[in-house]
Every structure is written in C-alpha cells, then in structure tokens.
Amino acid sequence: MSASAVGYPNTGGIELAFTWGGAIGSGDATAVPASAVLESERGAGPVPTPGAATGLDPAPLFLFDTVFGYALLFLVGLFLVYTGFRKYKTSQLIANTPTQNIRSLAGGRAEIVGTATPGDDLVEKPISEGKCLYAQYRVEERRTIRLGKGNKKKWRVWVAVDEGEIGHEFYVEDETGTVPIDPTDVDLTVDDANTTRTTVRTDEETPEAVAQFESNRPDGQSESIGQRIVDELHPANISLRSMLRLYAIVSAPLWTLVSNVNPSKRRRRYTEWVVEPGEDVYVFGNAKEQTDKSESAITTDERLVMTRDEMTRRFVISDAGDEAGAAKSLRRQTPLWMGGGVLLSIASLYLMLVLLGL
Amino acid sequence: MLLILTIVVLFAIVLGGIIAVWYGINLYNSLIDLAERVDKHYADIDTSLQRRNDELDGVIAFAKKALDQEDMYVELARAREQASGAQTPGEQAAADQQVQQALMNFESRVEDYPDLDGTSEMFDQIESVKAIEADIQDKRTVYNDIVTRFNTRIKQFPHVVLAQQLGYEDKEHFEAEESARDAPDYEEKLGVAA
C-alpha cells in the first residue's frame, strides 16, 4: 500500500460554529469542525442602555439584534446538543469494544493501543517547525461586526476560513505486531502538548513556518461556489462534515456582507494538532482487509489496515494512550456540549420571541 | 411575557423529552451492540479454531503416513476429535487444553525420529499450529474481556431493565485452568535451551 497525502477539500469560505466548554483549548481537534469565537467589545462612545432609545424597546439584545441572528444561535445550540450526543455515543462504542493485540486483529470494528511509528515518510507540521506522522489544522480570521445605533457596538468573530488534515500512512505497533493506519477523516483528540496555536497580524512579522504553510495551502476560493456545493452534495461525500462544509460555503457570502476586516491589522489564528512519532496512541476504527494484499499474507501488517469505520462513522485517534483515557475524555465533554447547547438554544429562543414582541 | 415564558418552558420540556428518548434508544442500541460484539468475538475464535483443526489434520495425516506406531499420534487424534465436538466456551477451553498437551507430547516423541523423511515439513506445520494457538489465546482474552463487560452491563441500572426485557443472561467465559492460560513451554518439554 503506498503512502499518500490526504486532505479535506478546502472549505474556503467562512464557517460558523461556536467554541464551547473550552473544546479547542482542550485540544479536541474535531470537537468543532469550524469555529467562530464570539467576543463582545464595546466600541467607542456611549452604548445605549436597554430600553433607553425609545423607552419601549427591550433592546439592545444579545448578539445580532435580529430574529435571524437568534434563529442562527438557536440552530447552533441544537448542533451543540447533537455534538454532545455524538460524543456520548462514541464513548459508548469505545466501551463496547475491547482492546485487541495487533497480532490477533480480525476484520471489522476494532481498537488497539500501541506506539505510532513512521511509514515511508513523515509530513511537515503545518504551523510549527518539525515533522510529524499526522496533523490537523484550522485557519481562522478575525472579523468585526458592527451593531446597534450608529454601529457603535462591535463584535469580534473568529471565522474559520480553512481546515484540513495531512498525513501519510503510518504504523502502530504493540509487543505482538504492527498494523498500518490510513489517516483519513480522523476524529483526533490530543492534549495541549500536541497542540500549537499562533496568531499572526499583517503588521507583524509572519513566522517562517506559517508563511511556508500559507504559500503551500491550496486556495479554496479558486473554485466557484456553485461547483463546491455540487461537490459537497455528491452522494459519495455526504456526511456530517460535508453538511458543515456546505453550510460554510453557503453562509460565506453572508458573513462577508455583515463583517469586515481592517486590512492593515488583519489577524489570522492558526491551530494545529499533531501525532508525533514514538507516541503511545489509542486507535478506534475499522480493521479492513488490504485490497492489494498478496495470497501469502499472514501477519497483520500484511493483511489489514486501520481505517474509518463506515458503520459507526468513527475513526478515533487519541494520544490518551489507552481506552479508559480516550473514553473518559469524551464522556467529560458530553455534559459540556449538551448543557451548553440546551442553554444556548433556550436563551436564543427566549430572546428571539422577545424581539418578535410576542 | 407569559406567552413567551410558556413557549420557552414548553420547548425546554420537549427538548428534555427528546434527550430522554434519545438516551433510551441509545441504551437499547448499546446493549444490542454489546451482545452482537460478544457473538462476533466468539465467531472469531471459531474461525481460528477451525484453522487450527485443519492444520492439526495435516500433522496427523503426516504422522499416519510416516510413523508405523499408532500410539504415537492417537492421543493427538483423540484430542483433535474432542475439539471438533466441543460446543460451549467451557468445553472448547477444556478441549484446547487437551490439544495443546497432546501436541506437546507428540512433538516430544517425534524428536526421537530425526531421520524421518519430511520431518522438517511436519515441524513447520506444528509451528503453524502453535502460532494459531497464540492467536486463539489472544482472542480468548478479548472474548473474556467483552463477556465481562456484557455480564456487568446487564446487571447495572438502567441497563438491567432493558436486559430483562430482552431476556439477556450472563454469557459464559472461556474457563481455562490457570495453568492452561499460558502457551505450553515447548522448549522445556523438549529439553531445548530457550
């Protein structure tokens, strides 16, 4: 099996999802496929007091001050609840799957623990210096939305403009054997030590690694929006991630309209999550028969390759190093996502109804 | 304002209901999944046992052809026969123990006939059987692990309610004796330095 670089189609557009419960900070690379961190900042000058403008309006309200804005937040809340569901379900699947020795892996859903070792080659880390086995990255741009009377209120928004994964096939070995890993569409969970985040302003010097990453990064905008929508709707590509990318593509023009960037102070935030060679990793996925295996294939590395499990739609790689650590991490996140989602959806529904004047 | 609060409270109740229903469905599916995993891992062992028995047939066929003394291989043939007839995990564990013992005895005896034609070929087959035995050992460990998880889960609340509805009962472990959990020490038996 030959090693090959893998990657997501460049989402290119501007994506909206909210970081919640410190998911990004905790190094969960897949917790939020794309993020826009909302931060409030009062602009210069006096800010209207609620109800002060007319004496009747309950405004200014939270965030966008529009029904659309609250409807969007409402949907985001439900999405967070769904993400919490999904994380709980993943932890259950992990709990139902015992760790196996690589020597005796049979085809089908499986989990293994072992040491990650290189295949043919390592890949350059996207953001920081050095090489790794596999990496996920996200590029976000800070945008400003002006609101309220006289546009005196500003909201700063981190909008994801690109995300993806890079990696060649690598191996995981335990004391009984070795198995190749095909790192495509991975649900990666790594700790802070394997997470790097860099914010770069255009009026500051760009770190060399970031400049190189930017020069090599494909430009997602080169393809028309229509073509990208068609690509995402292709039956072979349909998944939760493709739906998120579709949302990003469709909503990008809207974000361009409602936000702006100061060209002289543009900020971009780069985040990477990596798997280093020699690290103890936990892998949950599908042990799949190799398509090009020879008739005499006997050992696990000759017969099988670990890939995404299409039945459960999961492919977890974690540097927790064992099943308990990986499952614990997911279980710990579940109430944060679900609780946050419930609160956000209820609050936005309330504010939306208030705005509608019911 | 009362209307708004009513709608919000209703929404919270509906959302809570949806989460509760989802949780119930997830409990059910998870239990079914676990039971299926137990069966899957048992089937994996069965497949390996079949491979092992096929290899043993090859060893016995060679022995019949090359060795004129029936008592040389009769123990192995009996153990092989017993392994074929084993049905439950407990019976299979006991049968496997006998197969391992018989194979070890057979190998020890064949050592006394170093000049037989094809001896090396037969030892290759024996090595193959031993490799499969190690594979079976791994799979048993995994099977026992998942059986323990299943047996524990069906006793835990709230799974116990669903488990009773589904008629789930404890699954049987592979109850091999402690001495049989480790692969036989062939080197010691044959007097060969490790």
The pLDDT-based confidence of A53 (bands split at 50, 70, 90) is very low
Q: B142 at the A interface (CB within 8 A)?
A: yes
> Domain with B53 in it: what CATH number?
1.20.1440.20
Chain B residue closest to A81 (CA)?
A: B19
Residues of chain B with pLDDT > 90, as a percent, come to 16
The count of domains in chain B is 1
The pLDDT-based confidence of A242 (bands split at 50, 70, 90) is low
Residues B4, A342: C-beta atoms closer than 8 Å: no
Name every chain B residue with its beta carbon within 8 A of the beta carbon of A104. Answer: 48, 134-135, 138-139, 142
Q: Which domain holds residue B108?
A: 2-190
Q: A82 at the B interface (CB within 8 A)?
A: no
Please report the pLDDT score of residue B105 as a whole number. Answer: 81
Name every chain B residue with its beta carbon within 8 A of the beta carbon of A98. Answer: 41, 142, 145-146, 149
Single pTM value for the model: 0.71
Please state, rounded to an integer, the average pLDDT across all residues of chain A.
Answer: 73
Residues B8, A95: C-beta atoms closer than 8 Å: no
| Model confidence pLDDT, tens digit, residues B27-40 | 999 999 999 989 98
Residues A106, B139: C-beta atoms closer than 8 Å: yes
Cα-Cα-Cα-Cα torsion A106, A283, A30, A225, nearest 10 degrees, comes to -50
Residues A346, B142: C-beta atoms closer than 8 Å: no
Residues A353, B8: C-beta atoms closer than 8 Å: yes
- How many C-alpha atoms does A121 have within 13 Å on its Cβ side? 10
Please report the pLDDT score of residue B48 as a whole number. Answer: 86
Mean pLDDT over A115-119 rounds to 92
Cα distance between residue A309 and residue A330, in whole Å? 18
User: Could you give the ipTM of this predicted complex?
Assistant: 0.73
Residues A346, B26: C-beta atoms closer than 8 Å: no
The pLDDT-based confidence of A354 (bands split at 50, 70, 90) is confident
The pLDDT-based confidence of A237 (bands split at 50, 70, 90) is low
Please report the pLDDT score of residue A247 as a whole number. Answer: 66
| Model confidence pLDDT, tens digit, residues B103-139 | 888 777 777 776 666 666 777 778 888 888 888 888 8
3-state secondary structure chain A: CCCCCCCCCCCCCCECCCCCCCCCCCCECCCCCCCCCEEEEECCCCCCCCCCCCCCCCCCCCCCCCHHHHHHHHHHHHHHHHHHHHHHHHHHHHHCCCECCHHHCCCEEEEEEEEEECCCCCEECCCCCCEECEEEEEEEEEEEEEECHHHCEEEEEEEEEEEEEEECCEEEEECCEEEEECCCCCEEECCHHHEEEEEEECCCCCCHHHHHHHHHCCCHHHCCHHHHHHHHCCHHHCCHHHHHHHHHHHHHHHHHHHCECCHHHCEEEEEEEEECCCCEEEEEEEEEECCCCCCCCCCHHHHEEEECECCCCECEEECCCCHHHHHHHHHHHHHHHHHHHHHHHHHHHHHHHHHHCC
Tell me which range, A317-326, B7-16, B110-119, is most confidently predicted by mean pLDDT: B7-16
Mean pLDDT over A301-312 rounds to 85
Residues A354, B22: C-beta atoms closer than 8 Å: no
Mutation target to probe the A interface, by most A beta carbons within 10 A, among B3, B6, B11, B51 is B11
